[in-house]
Structure 1
Amino acid sequence: MGAAWIALGLSLKVALWATCIDLVLGVAVGWLLARVRFPGRDVLDALLTLPMVLPPTVLGYYLLVVIGRNGPLGRWLDAVFGINLIFTWQAAVIAAAVVAFPLVLKGARTAFETVDPQLEQAARVLGVRPFGVFLRVTLPLAWRGVLAGTLLAFARSLGEFGATLMVAGSIPGKTQTLSIAVYEAVQAGQDDTANLLVLVTSITCVTVLLLAGRLAPARRALP
């Protein structure tokens, strides 16, 4: 039973780190796609949305190619810093962040697109710097959509399985996240542990989804 709570704690740590990474990158890229027109914008949006539709095992394979010991990033990290990401909790964070990133991106982009550009222009006319316009006008008006996407990304990160298993493995106490622990418990015939983990995961995800639903921008009533 103690191993189950260790897996829960590790899953929460991985999900929090992955969500923080996605929040920073998702808000930046979401604003870029919503406010700046440039060649290849639709292609970039499609590529960044791919993790929503690709099988997790495919994403895991791509991550192995990139951050594995023989991959370009993995080889560089190993040669310069002596860091090997594979089969570490940091690899689980990367996997969860990649899988959940489109949820933050889509939520942020949609929220930014609902902000009236004239309000931003008015702030610039009053002498507010561009970054100040973002912090004082754009983000406060779009925060509900951004936060809703962030909560969904947290729930997705908490339940990530396929890509995490491929790059981080299932090392109890080190890389065995909640979803992997459920799989291992079922395989070992530990029904009580599996039931507890499933219950905790379900309650957490339902709570997050309810919060995300309340924070999402209100829809206009149909005529």
Structure 2
Amino acid sequence: MSIFGDLLDLLLPERCVACGDEPVVLCDGCATPLRGPARPASTAPDGLPPPWTVAAYEGPLRKILPAYKDHGRTALAVPLGEALATSLHKAVADVDPPHTIVWVPSARAATKRRGHDPLRALVAIALQRLREDGVSATALNALKHRKRVMDQAGLTATQRTTNLHNALQTTRPDLADRPLILVDDIITTGASLSEAARALHTAGAKVTATATIATTPRHRPP
């Protein structure tokens, strides 16, 4: 989005970020994909429990998530966090409590540019919803970047894997034999989840479940 476009967003009355028709940040029609049931993701990284997800990353989601992450529409944290809670409900169903949730961290440069850590805020909302439903869960800030990485957008699957190779490390000394639930916002190739899981496994932790909001559909060749 251009600087001029961002300025218009600030000056004009707020409209639905996906369709632009309704005078709300997100209209009911465009929010529908986030309100569906959780299902196993079709793009599951090798060596991880199959991630649960709610929506395909297409249609309205391709505008909703960037608007939240990169363009200051922080009110979208509520519907996105609730969608993550839906996935987490399924993820924890077959896992013994207590449930400890770890998220894939944003790169430091991305967090600085955005002015917030998008996924961390969504985890906080999802945890609140889980607790309201009687599910005992806590969040653990257990991962950080150990080297500079490129923006994953536009990279091929091979480039994503190379970009994230050994990019993460744990931040805590008490992870050995600890069961953890790993979350991310979108699965594209699974490279981010795989790298996060590698770092956690290296520290001796056990990833018992994974959850996301959306997954990029795999398009079959014609």
| Shorter-chain TM band | under 0.3
**Comparing both structures, which one devotes a greater share of its residues to helix?**
1
**Comparing both structures, which one devotes a greater share of its residues to strand?**
2
Determine which structure has more spread, i.e. the larger CA radius of gyration: 1
By relative contact order (CA 8 Å, sep 6+), the higher-ranking structure is 1
